[in-house]
Amino acid sequence: MAGSDRLMRAVRFHEYGDPSVLRLDEVSRPQRGEGEVLVQVRAAGVNPIDWKFRSGQLRAFMPLELPHILGLDLAGTVSEVGPDAAGFAVGDEVFGRGQGAYAEYATALAHSIAQKPEALSFEQAATLPVGGVTAWWGLFETAGLESGQRLLVHGGAGGVGGLAVQLGRWKGAHVIATTSTRNIDFVRSLGADEVVDYSASRFEDGVHDVDVVLDTVGGDVTERSWRVLRKGGILVSAAGMPQPERAEQHGVRTSGVQAPPAIRPILDQLAALVVDGKLKPLVGERFPLAEVEAAHRASETGHGRGRIILEVSD
């Protein structure tokens, strides 16, 4: 079907660059394929990988066809259901990982979304897919975190780190988290047993015998983390490439976070924890879709709380 009813607003960039290259365009709605649904997006999450794509940092090994619509985290209402998209019907409220979520409509694979509980707002639900799945897979499937172990989360106030702190606490780990001065009380309220103000001290001077490090910061923080691990411990990187040779030198292990192809079971678990009051979605700053440039500039500071949200439609 052609016509104006098949058009939508979407944020695209036509060339790599700073946030000013983001444009709100009118484009055709995407066509859902086999195993996909078309979602009318109500809220979309802004992830660091979004602006890394936009800036061109990742184009050497993940080139994009331009113009490109960004966005992975979404929450909204199912508009169309494709063949083999089992478990969903038109009108279902869903959340999960889609393609091109900075738009009024986006496609998503059926195994990458889940039913949104009524207790969650669209904005809350949009904070969970990337951050929640990264934290869950990194802590439990990759590191095998167990009750009683010592967990260090770098970036404890962020979109991944804030959920990781809560999940570690729920699992029964002793949770240590790094954050800035202004977020100390906030991170402690999430369940951290110890909070290290990285602007006032070096975490490696006081933290030791850690079983699991979840690194959401990268760079120099990764290099300084090797020494806080106990022998046989593991550093899970969500902000860079694993360094097996450095891990071997320190008698520890390392891994990146490779999410499973089908994330619906994890999304269901996260939603259940939220409904049970065990996990709090962390909605950060909110921006209308038209103010996406400001949203990216805020995300690039690296000092926000929770997940920045684009409010796409009412």
Residue 227, SS3 per DSSP: helix
Question: Do the beta carbons of residue 256 and residue 271 sit within 8 Å?
Answer: no
Rounded Cα distance between 181 and 117, Å, is 34
Domain count, the chain: 2
- In a domain, residue 301? The reply is yes
Domain that holds residue 219: 131-256
From first to last of the 314 residues of the chain, give the pLDDT tens digit.
344 578 999 999 999 999 999 999 999 999 999 999 999 999 999 999 999 999 998 888 889 999 999 999 999 999 999 999 989 999 999 999 999 999 999 999 999 999 999 999 999 999 999 999 999 999 999 999 999 999 999 999 999 999 999 999 999 999 999 999 999 999 999 999 999 999 899 999 999 999 999 999 989 999 999 999 999 999 999 988 888 999 999 999 999 998 788 899 999 999 999 999 999 999 999 999 999 999 999 999 877 889 999 999 87
Question: Are residues 154 and 119 located together in one domain of the fold?
Answer: no
3-state helix, strand, coil in the chain (%, to 5): 30, 30, 40
Please tell me whether residue 32 adopts helix, strand or coil conformation.
Answer: coil
Whether residue 140 sits in one domain with residue 123: no
In a domain, 85, yes or no: yes
Q: Looking at the domain assignment, is residue 273 inside a domain?
A: no
Residue ranges in the chain assigned as alpha helix (H): 48-55, 122-125, 129-136, 161-171, 184-189, 220-225, 244-249, 264-275, 292-300
Task: Identify whether 242 is part of a domain.
Answer: yes
CATH number assigned to the domain comprising residue 242: 3.40.50.720
139 and 76, same domain (yes or no): no
Paired strand residues for 194: 176
**Shared-domain flag, residues 214 and 169:** yes
Establish if 264 belongs to a structural domain: no
Residue 40's domain is classified under what CATH number? 3.90.180.10
Nearest-angstrom CA–CA distance, 265 and 6: 32
